[in-house]
């Protein structure tokens, strides 16, 4: 059997996420794992100093957008191993619903719950909602304006009357029900959303909008380059290059 030649740094970074884990693919496909691990856990991680927990949570979010359940399991365990809380994990899964859709997210929710139960974590986790049926519209609209500014008023003003309900849904549901929740701050949530969108593909219009939102919140060009770089091994070059094109259009060098 071919011996996998993993760099010391790649081995250390892998061990930090999954202590003692023995890869099945390393036994059946050692050449692939050698190339991937040295790239993802050494070369890519050498690009920037994104905090480990943040990086893992963003990759975890991208696995939902990619519909990659096996890798999601790995990243949930990695996130918990490096200090993410069960609530933070669940909040990313919850936030995927308005962006990815419940049809896809439900399997990820059940899988996350299984992992948490295996770790002895009692469910449900603590309630993180900050709105009521009476306040969700106003709080959601306020959160939209915090992220996107006057663009939100323009979207309402320019919407055809027969589509105005979609703008209301965005305010009340997407932002009021989800983005206003506790445990993840708004800057982190915007990076999570961007991770979903990059992984989904075909969402360039929304990627541009959320690049603007990230920038408005202080996630600058370099922060977003770092994010796209860290997602690259998991979402592939085409989606990464499309996201970079959007970045260059919205926030030129």
Q: Residue 172 and residue 143: Cα distance in Å, rounded?
A: 10
Asked if residue 101 and residue 63 are part of one domain, the reply reads yes
Angle at 220 between CA 215 and CA 221, to 5 degrees: 110
Record the pTM.
0.96
Distance of CA 185 to the CA centre of its chain: 13
124 & 222 share domain: yes
Helical axes 136-148 vs 186-200, angle rounded to 10°: 80
- Decide: 141 and 152 in contact? Cβ < 8 Å: yes
**For position 113, which CATH number holds?**
1.20.1290.10
- Identify the residue whose tokens are 């049926």: 133
- The total domain count for the chain is 3
Which residues span the domain enclosing 56? 47-128+181-250
Task: State whether 121 and 145 are in the same domain.
Answer: no
> How many secondary structure helices (H) and strands (E) does the chain include?
14, 0
Question: Are residues 193 and 110 located together in one domain of the fold?
Answer: yes
- The encoded tokens of residue 168 equal 């209301």
pLDDT in tens, the chain (253 residues): 456 799 999 999 999 999 999 888 988 999 999 999 999 999 999 999 999 999 999 999 999 999 999 999 999 999 999 999 999 999 999 999 999 999 999 999 999 999 999 999 999 999 999 999 999 999 999 999 999 999 999 999 999 999 999 999 999 999 999 999 999 999 999 999 999 999 999 999 999 999 999 999 999 999 999 999 999 999 999 999 999 999 999 999 8
Q: Is the same domain home to 123 and 222?
A: yes
Cα 221 from Cα 249, distance rounded (Å)? 11
Residues 52 and 118 occupy one common structural domain:
yes
Task: Kindly state whether residues 196 and 174 are assigned to the same domain.
Answer: no
| Together in a domain, 124 and 208 | yes
CA dist 68 and 239 (Å) reads 15
Residue pair 189/179 in contact by the 8 Å Cβ criterion: yes
Task: Kindly report the backbone phi and psi dihedral angles of residue 140, in degrees, each rounded to the nearest multiple of 5, phi listed first.
Answer: -65, -45
């Amino acid at each position: 059997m071919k011996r996998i030649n993993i760099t010391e740094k790649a081995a250390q970074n892998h061990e930090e996420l999954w202590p003692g884990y023995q890869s099945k693919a390393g036994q059946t496909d050692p050449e692939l794992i050698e190339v991937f691990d040295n790239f993802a856990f050494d070369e890519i991680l050498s690009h920037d100093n994104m905090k480990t927990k943040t990086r893992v949570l963003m990759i975890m979010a991208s696995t939902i957008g990619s519909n990659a359940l096996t890798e999601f399991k790995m990243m949930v365990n990695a996130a918990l191993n490096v200090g993410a809380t069960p609530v933070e994990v669940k909040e990313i899964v919850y936030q995927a619903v308005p962006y990815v859709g419940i049809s896809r997210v439900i399997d990820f929710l059940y899988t996350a719950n299984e992992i948490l139960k295996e770790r002895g974590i009692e469910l449900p986790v603590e309630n993180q909602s900050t709105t009521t049926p009476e306040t969700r519209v106003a709080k959601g609209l306020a959160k939209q304006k915090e992220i996107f500014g006057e663009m939100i008023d323009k979207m309402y003003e320019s919407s055809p009357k027969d589509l105005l309900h979609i703008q209301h849904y965005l305010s009340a549901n997407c932002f009021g029900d989800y983005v206003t929740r506790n445990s993840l701050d708004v800057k982190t949530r915007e990076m999570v959303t961007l991770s979903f969108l990059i992984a989904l593909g075909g969402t360039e219009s929304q990627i541009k909008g959320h690049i603007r939102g990230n920038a408005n919140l202080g996630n600058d060009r370099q922060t977003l380059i770092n994010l796209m770089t860290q997602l690259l091994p998991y979402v592939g070059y085409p989606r990464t290059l499309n996201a970079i094109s959007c970045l260059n259009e919205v926030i030129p060098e």
